[in-house]
Every structure is written in C-alpha cells, then in structure tokens.
Amino acid sequence: MKLHPVTKEVISIDVTGPFAGQENVTRTFDVIRLLHSSPILYGRGTRVWIVKDEIGKFFVLKDSWVVENKIISEIEFMQHIDRLLQDDDEGHLFKHSCPKYCIGQEKVWSTDVIRGNLQQPGSMTRIQRRIVTGPIGDPITSFRSKKEFISVMLDVVNALEFLYVKGGIIHSDISMNNIMINRVWDCEPHELPSRLRMLICALRQLAIDANDKDDDAALLTAIEASTTVTTEPQASTISVIQALTIDTSTVHDTLPFMSIEALLGGVSGKYKHGPGHDLESLLYTILTICHYTVGPGGQLREAKSETKTIELNKWFCMANRQDLANEKTVTLLSFDRYIKEGLAPYWDDFAPFLQELVNVTWDPTTRTLIGTPNIATHAAYRGILLKALVFYEKEETRSLAPYAVVPTGKRSRSQFQLLLPQSKRLRLINQGLASDEIILPRPSVSRTLQEYRCVIGAD
C-alpha cells in the first residue's frame, strides 16, 4: 500500500495471489475513489475502493479484517463461482449477472504480529484479506423505467437459481446494498443481457412439466417480450455474492431484509438458510424500492408528514429480532392496509404483482407467518416477474429516463461568480443603508508600511 507523501491518502494497493494460472502474482492497483470505510474501531474495519489496474481497467477492491478460523473464505467462493461460469454449459448465460473474480490475497497481515506480547488469552485472531472483483455496478435505485427494474429483479432470480442448482451456493445477504445494475454498454448482439435473459427463461420453462397450456402460452409471451432489443444500453444485474454453502446455520443478513425464520431461529442455531429465504429477502428489497422511490433515475421519496406513517418505516428502526419478525408478519398479512397504501404513487400499478409475490412466499391461507414455512421457489418468482414484464411492455411507452445528466458546456465566469458568496462590503451597499453607514471601498492606490512611517515621522 502506497501513501501520498503529503496528504497520506492511499494512492495504490498491491495484491499478491493466484492469477492467470500462476500461483503468486503481485499486481498493483491505483486508487480512484474510496467507496466505503467502516466508521468503527473494532470488527472487520472494511474499506472498499474503486481501483484501476495496469492497463486502465476498473475494478472494486475490498480490504477487511476477518476472523482467521472462519470456515468460509470469500476468495475461495469467488474462485468457485468463476470456475462455474467457465465450466458449466449454461455459465455464459450469466456472464453479466455474477461478479467476476480478478485476484485476491487471503492473508496480508495478522493481528498476532501486530499485538505481539499484548495478545490476550481467548482473543480472536484476525487476518487482513484483499479481494479484487468487477465490474463496477450502479445503485439499484438508478433504474430508468419499471421495465428495467423488473428485468433486473428477474436477472437476480435467475442468477440465484443458477448458483444454487449448479454450484450449491446460496447468497444469504440479499439487500439493497448488495444488488447493483451492471450496464453493458458494449457487447455483441448475441451477448445482450436481454437476449441472455430470454434464453435463460426459455430453458427454465422447457424444464417445467406444466399442465396448464394457457399458463405456458402466457409465459412464452412474456419471454418474447423480454427479448426486446433497443439502441439503449441493456441492463443486467450483478450481486455482491456473500456465498454460503447449503443448509448453513450462520446468519449474515441485514436486519430489515432478513427472512422471518432467520429472525426467529438464527440465534438458537436451529435455522437452516435455504434458497427460499434469499427470495424472501429479495421481496423485502422490492418492497423497499417501491416504498421509498418515486420514479426512475434515483428519485427518492421526500420526508414529509404523510411518509412518517408508512408501516415499513418500522422495519428499519427495530433492533430486537422477535419484535421485527412480529412487525413483518403484521405488515405482510395486512397487504391492502399497510403495503398497498404505503406504496409511492409511481408503483401503484405494481401492487397486484407484489401481492402475488407475497402469496407464493407463504401459504396465502395462513393467519400468521410466525412458524409458517417459507415456500418460495425461483420458478414462482420468475413467472410473476415475467408477467409484470409483459404488463410494462405495453404500459410504459415513454423513452427511458436519462442515465446521467451532464452539463452541456463550461460555465461562464459571470455565472460562476454568481454562485460565490458576496463580500460583506457589497451586501451592506445593497441594503439601502444611509451614506454614513456604508463601508467605503478601499482606495485604488495603497501605501506601503514604510511610506506610513515616513509620514508619521514628519509630524
């Protein structure tokens, strides 16, 4: 790690690890921007940067201090996912939907070396780990239309299913912060995310033994709608994979997005995280987006008096897991009162699809979700999202919202000066003060200190 000689800011970071078939390669990444720095003095102390490699390609570098005897290695799982994408017959279909491993260093430093003789008996040993991944995604709130948002959620469902079925991996920490939009600006027509999405959905539909031909026809129509190719950059999804093995009892979720079963059983160790719980967390992510965004392009809901009564607000204010589980079951079972009424007006027409997602996550006839098993499946979620995609294909006829607004030209000097704070002298003149109260401007010619001394001596 190299620091700037004056500011002491990090300007480059070295990472040594397996790369391109070689066992140990040291690569240097120039720091572009700090994305995240843990504000606390204990724990992992995670820091995340946007970095650039030797050939000018951008990546995300994560530096954290993890417990040494932790069974799960993020680097090993990222390598596992990377091999899965390369070796599996369907891996190329998810090239835009999974993070890409670049290089990682399992042990940069250890607290044992730093603490030395100050090490206390029973204290945990932490090791510094660095991992570099790509590509760089945009926040999930940067969707440009409802259709694009639904497409992104559909990509998440498909990617989660692929990782679970083919790789034996579940995510375990689905939330708003762990889902990003990977905007593919330059690719071959056959690699467009919209076309890959169509192929994935078609393959999954062919694998289902459905008896209702009408439903099959509706889904195929939805699949066809998802193949629309425009001149706009297509959007896919990249998720920062937490990557836990099947049937883990370890709970890593973010509280507002944790499944109800995780909230109730994770602490006691009886809870086994499954793929349905990832889908439940995805449902909570969708609900959060629909409550707190009022349009495309990152338009967030303003904090007004009417927004203070949104029931979903309580999910983000509770630290007790039992209380949060109870609050979630009340909110979800009272859909019309708490969810439908709390949606931002922009999402009113999406409410029926939200209701369907809730109904396929738990038994719709149940009177409480406490103790009710999660029954969500990837196929059920995919079917609902495909129907929503067909709906918005017909309803959304306006062009996509701008991806980013950039000033068209340089600002003139006069415009720039208007933005600067005016001096006190000018403000007093413009306030209509009497002539004897106005601070007069400085003379155009100034005397040096020596000249003043000469004048004083002459008197």
Segment 236-264, tens digit of pLDDT:
555 554 544 444 445 555 899 999 999 98
Residue 416: what pLDDT? Answer: 43
- State pTM to two decimals: 0.77
Structural domains of the chain sorted by starting position, each given as residue range(s) with its CATH number in brackets: 1-89+101-136 (no CATH), 137-396 (1.10.510.10)
Report d(CA 37, CA 128) in Å as an integer. Answer: 15
In tens, the pLDDT along 14-26 reads 999 988 778 889 9
In this predicted structure, the answer to whether residue 422 has a pLDDT above a threshold of 90 is: no
In tens, the pLDDT along 41-88 reads 666 788 999 999 999 999 999 999 888 877 678 888 888 888 898 998
Q: Burial level of 413, CB count in 10 A (0-12/13-18/19+)?
A: exposed
> Among 44-53, 166-175, 412-421, where is mean pLDDT lowest?
412-421
Helix, strand, or coil (residue 125)? coil
- Among 105, 132, 108, 129, smallest CA distance to 50 is for 132
In this predicted structure, the answer to whether residue 413 has a pLDDT above a threshold of 70 is: no
In tens, the pLDDT along 263-293 reads 988 555 577 889 999 999 999 999 999 999 9
Quickly count: other Cβ atoms within 10 Å of residue 361's Cβ.
25
User: Which residues are within 8 A (CB) of 397 and not within 5 positions of it... i.e. 6 or more apart?
Assistant: none
Report d(CA 329, CA 339) in Å as an integer. Answer: 12
User: For residues 64 and 47, is the Cβ–Cβ distance under 8 A?
Assistant: yes
Residue 184: what pLDDT? Answer: 82
Report d(CA 70, CA 272) in Å as an integer. Answer: 18
Identify the bridge partners of residue 299 per DSSP, sorted by sequence position: 295
- What number is the average pLDDT over the span 392-421? 58
In this predicted structure, the answer to whether residue 376 has a pLDDT above a threshold of 70 is: yes
Report d(CA 284, CA 156) in Å as an integer. Answer: 14
Question: What percentage of the chain exceeds 90 in pLDDT?
Answer: 37
At 301, give phi and psi (nearest 5°): -70, 135
* Size of the chain in residues: 459
> Among 101-105, 151-155, 266-270, 332-336, where is mean pLDDT lowest?
266-270
At 104, give phi and psi (nearest 5°): -150, 150
Helix, strand, or coil (residue 100)? strand
Helix, strand, or coil (residue 117)? helix
Residue 59: what pLDDT? Answer: 94
- Among 65, 32, 66, 74, smallest CA distance to 49 is for 32
Across the chain, mean pLDDT equals 79
Whole-number Cα distances in Å, 317 to 66, 174, 263, 286:
27, 19, 15, 18
